[in-house]
Every structure is written in structure tokens, then in C-alpha cells.
Amino acid sequence: MKYGISVTDTSEVKKIEESGLQLVDKLVAFSESLNEIASFQSPRGIIFHDLASATQLYSTVPLPAYTSRDLIHITPLVETWKGIYLSTTNGVEVAETYYSELDMDDVAVIAAHELTHHIDVFQTDSEELDEENMWFEEGLCFYIPRKQILSDEKFHSIMKVEACLIDRYKEQYGDYTLNRFGESHDEESEYASAFYDYWRSTLVVDALINRYCDQQVEKMIDCYREWAESSRVINLQTYFIDKLHISDEEAKNLWLS
């Protein structure tokens, strides 16, 4: 995978390149496992940044991980991500413990999230996925990398952490339907406002795969593909409720409606 480096602090170049090369190795391995789930078009490359370069020079997005012009942009520094995530813990002990021990696998999941957006099921010529249905893509793009990169123990740990954080922030941000993905996000506010719906979406995707797809992500993707190739008369949440025979109570518990 081709890569470049952009920094505002040149003293960081060596550390960022060393961390970036570790990340490239993990992404190459992830790409092989991802290709067994769904085909994808690789991005042109990846740009490794320090925090200021990612969020002030190349973009004003507050999180230093995104895709732009077919390039993945990310800071590969574990310490930077550790600081970001620790700022969201709000006194939740299991979250503080997990994020204090963040490692390169966790950063690789973030980069792999961007890569997973490139799988063919999400690449349509007709139209971009509208905001009403984007929760599924965002949730699946975290679920797959976590299952492929993290150990089973770490996977269950991070899912528990995010479930606890959802409970902690629910009163502040609400438990509105995921059709309104991103409603809590405030660019002038804390990182938690940006993460809240990603946490919720990933938890819902995990529940759907475990409870209704025999723990097989391929079945979940096939179900999504059927909807994507249909006329899309109904939104994705309603389609899943009907297709998977999810009761109203279960749907409410999943924040589907």
C-alpha cells in the first residue's frame, strides 16, 4: 500500500512513519480477510498525519481518520487516539481501563473502518447512501474490522465498553431512531457526541448478526444487498424488521424504530 506523510511538527516524522508502517502491515493482512467477505476497490493510498495536519491542514474534521479523494487519512499514533478516547469515558471505569491500554490493533481497526467503506456492496453507481440508512454502513464498517483484527477477548471488551458509554450518554444525547444518524454530533462539542451513533450502530449490527444471521456476517451483507438492489421503497430499518421478523419490542430495544 502506497503511503505519504504530512506533519505540522517535523520532529514527529520518524515516529509517525514507524507507526504508519506497522499500520500498513496490519491493513494488508486485514485486506486479505476482507476480500474473503466481499470484494472491494483499494484506495489509492494512505496519508499518515500528526493531529494538527489531519484536523487543521487537510480538513476541519475533528477526528483524525477519514477518506478523501480516494485516500485514507489517519494519524497512526496510539497516544493520540488514547487521548481522544479517554476524553469520552465520563467516569465509566471499564472504558477508562480499556482506553488506557489502547494499542496498535485498535488504531488498525479505525484505519480498516475506512477501508471497509470500499467494499462493493456499498459502491453503487445510482446514488450515495442517504443519511436515513447510513447507520448500517457505519456500524458494519466497525464490526468487520473488529472481528478480523481484534482477539475475541478484545472484541467483547470493546463492545461492553461502548454499551456502557451509550448508557452513560443516553440521557444527554437521547435514544432517537438510528434513522437520524449523527443527530447528536456537535463539531464544537466533545468527541463523545461524534462517537455516540457509531457506538449505537455497531452494537445494533452486532446484535442483528448474532440474533438473526446465525453469527454470519455474510448473511447480514446478503440481506443488505437484497435491500440495496430493490426499489428501496421502505427504509433499511423497516426492511430488516420485516425480513428478519423482528418484533416491535425487539426493534425498539435495538433503536431501530
Q: Does a structural domain hold residue 62?
A: no
Q: Is residue 7 part of a domain?
A: no
Does residue 1 contact residue 28 with C-beta atoms inside 8 Å?
yes
In a domain, 142, yes or no: yes
> Is 149 inside a domain boundary?
yes
% of the chain beyond a pLDDT of 90: 80
Would you say 99 and 86 are in contact if contact means Cβ atoms under 8 Å apart? yes
pLDDT band at residue 232 under the 50/70/90 scheme: confident
Q: Where are the beta strands (DSSP E) in the chain?
A: 3-6, 45-49, 65-68, 71-74
Closest CA to 47 of 36, 57, 38, 37: 57
Total domains in the fold of the chain: 1
Is residue 31 in a domain? no
- Least-confidence region, from 47-61, 125-139, 149-163: 125-139
Q: Are 93 and 66 in contact (CB under 8 A)?
A: no
List, in order, residues 6 or more apart from 222 with CB less than 8 Å away: none
Q: What is the pLDDT of residues 3-56, one digit of tens each?
A: 999 999 999 999 999 999 999 999 999 999 999 999 998 899 999 999 999 999
- Phi, psi torsion values for 119, nearest 5 degrees: -65, 150
- Banded pLDDT at 124 (limits 50, 70, 90): low
**Tens digit of each residue's pLDDT (9 = 90 or more) over 181-221:** 988 887 656 899 999 999 999 999 999 999 999 999 999 99
Residue 32 lies inside a defined structural domain of this protein: no
Whether residue 247 lies inside any domain: the answer is: yes
The boundaries of the domain holding residue 216 are: 77-253
Q: Contact at 8 Å (CB) between 115 and 187?
A: no
Is 167 within 8 Å of 94 (Cβ atoms)? no
Look at residue 67 and tell me whether its pLDDT is greater than 90: yes
C-beta of residue 196 within 8 angstroms of C-beta of residue 149: no
In Å, what is the CA distance from 50 to each residue of 10, 23, 67, 151, 185? 9, 14, 16, 28, 23
Q: Report how far residue 50's alpha carbon sits from residue 21's, in angstroms, rounded to the nearest whole number.
A: 15
Question: What 8-state DSSP symbol labels residue 119?
Answer: B
In DSSP notation, 12-23 reads: GHHHHHHHHHHH
pLDDT recorded at residue 123: 64
Residue 163 resides in a domain: yes
Q: What is the pTM of this model?
A: 0.94
| Residue appearing with cell numbers 444518524 | 181
**Residue 125 reports pLDDT greater than 70:** no
Give me the pLDDT at residue 256, please: 61
